[in-house]
Structures are given as structure tokens and as C-alpha cells.
Amino acid sequence: MQNPAGIHPALWRGTQLAQAGRPTLSTGFPPLDAELPGHGWPMGALIELMPRQTGIGELFLLQPALAGLEPGRSVILLCPPYTPQFHCWVNWRLENRRLLWLAPKTPSDTLWAAETILRHNACGALLCWAAAPRAAALRRLHLAAQQSDTLFVLMRPPAALQQASAAVLRMLLQPLPQGLEVHIHKRRGPLASRPIPLSLYGPRLPAPPLPSDHVPLDQPLPAFLSARRHFA
């Protein structure tokens, strides 16, 4: 049988990872790259991340890819659940990538803004938080993403896994003590056989002692006091 990829780039064998038909951007985590078609995040496509709980490290997971964008290209946060902290942005050494924060008033406004941004290829990365877009809206977002070279990530709750989606990549994120456990629920290729543990943070070091003018309370007793107590 002829190689499916030789017939059309969008075809692949079900037992193999698909060849990336579009550019990809390394995730910065080799174990995760090895499980993704093209060995990275697909550009110009809908990606869905579903953290078990908001703030468990989903942005930290994307930090290496954001650092890999072309300097000067904007990163847009669309309807994030919390106020972005610019100090964190600087600590991540992303100051050369302009950060824009948009807070639409309604879910429909959020989806409209996402589609408009993608159709105009207005940024290097678009991170959007949307709870329950319909399947038709997801198809529109994916089609709009294909007209761009944007890293487009849609953050959704885990319950969204019960719904069909046009996304080419869907991941459930579970917290670990030092990082995340990534469950790939959809990719262009065979089903992922096991979750992928990723270390996002180094082990916490004990805090250094604070300087103090007071004498520590655990000083040894003077010799004569120790002797008197011993012979009492």
C-alpha cells in the first residue's frame, strides 16, 4: 500500500504520529515533544488545555514556547481568570514580547475577539479562557487559526472532554508536587498509552535564617549550671 503521506500531507497511519503539515514550536519539555506530531505545539491550529484546577502550572507549561516566539511579537491573554502579574512576565524574561490583556464582558464577546485576532494574525500567541463554546464556535476558531501562524491555546474546564471539538490537540492537566501530569486525549496519531509527568519547578530549598539581634534560645548551658543540675 502506498504511504498515506505520499498521497496527501494530512494523511497518516493510525498507528503512527502524523507528520506536521504546518510549523511547530517546541514545548521545551523533551518527553512531551516526543509525544506530539512535529515534536512541538502546532502553530495555526486550535489547542485545548484543560487544567484540573486553575493555576496549577498551565502558564508555566507554555513559558518555554512563549520564550521561543519571535521577539517583538505580542502575546494576548483573553479573558484570564486572574489579573496578570507583569513582574512574573519579566522574571520569565519575556519583556521583549508585548503582553496584552483583554477582558471582554460576555462569553460571546470573548469568542468574537478570539476569532478576529486570529483572522488578522495579530499576535504571536493567543491564550484564551472560555468555559463552554459550542462545537460550531470551535470549528470557526480552528478555521481562523489556520489563517495565521499564531500559537493558539484555549483553556477549558475538564468537563469539556465530554464534548466533541475541532481541536487538533487536547490535553488534561493534573497537578504534581513539582509540576504537572499531562494526559493527551486527542492528537493526530494513536491514543497516548500513558500520562506524561513533567517537572516544572525545582525542589524547594529551605529558607535562609533571617538576621536577628536576639540571642538564639537553643544556646548550650554554661558548664557550672550543667554541673549543678547534674548533681542536684
Q: Tell me whether residue 216 is in a domain.
A: no
H or E segment to which residue 10 belongs: none
Structural domain boundaries enclosing 173:
25-201
Q: Tell me whether residue 229 is in a domain.
A: no
Of 132 and 174, more confident: 174
Poorest-pLDDT segment among 102-106, 151-155, 219-223: 219-223
- Is residue 70's pLDDT more than 80? yes
Poorest-pLDDT segment among 8-17, 24-33, 198-207: 8-17
Q: Tell me whether residue 164 is in a domain.
A: yes
Q: Tell me whether residue 123 is in a domain.
A: yes
Residue 30: pLDDT band by 50, 70, 90 thresholds? very high
Of 191 and 211, more confident: 191
- Distance set, CA 106 to CA 54, 79, 103, 134, 140 (Å): 20, 9, 9, 15, 18
Q: Tell me whether residue 97 is in a domain.
A: yes
Poorest-pLDDT segment among 18-27, 45-54, 103-112, 200-209: 200-209
How many domains would you assign to the chain?
1
Poorest-pLDDT segment among 26-30, 94-98, 132-136, 147-151: 94-98
- Is residue 222's pLDDT more than 60? no
Q: Could you identify the residue written with the cell 494576548?
A: 76
Based on the number of CB atoms within 10 Å of its own CB, is 65 exposed (0-12), middle (13-18) or buried (19 or more)?
buried
Q: Tell me whether residue 222 is in a domain.
A: no
Q: Give the pLDDT confidence of 181-199 residue by residue, as tens digits.
A: 999 999 988 888 799 999 9
Q: Tell me whether residue 101 is in a domain.
A: yes
CATH code for the domain in which residue 96 is found: 3.40.50.300
Q: Give the pLDDT confidence of 104-139 residue by residue, as tens digits.
A: 999 999 999 999 999 999 899 999 999 888 999 999
62 contact partners, CB below 8 Å, separation of at least 6? 125, 127, 153
Give pLDDT, residue 207. Answer: 44
Q: What is the pTM of this model?
A: 0.78
Q: Tell me whether residue 210 is in a domain.
A: no
Residue 170: pLDDT band by 50, 70, 90 thresholds? very high
36, 27 contact by CB (below 8 A): yes
135, 162 contact by CB (below 8 A): no
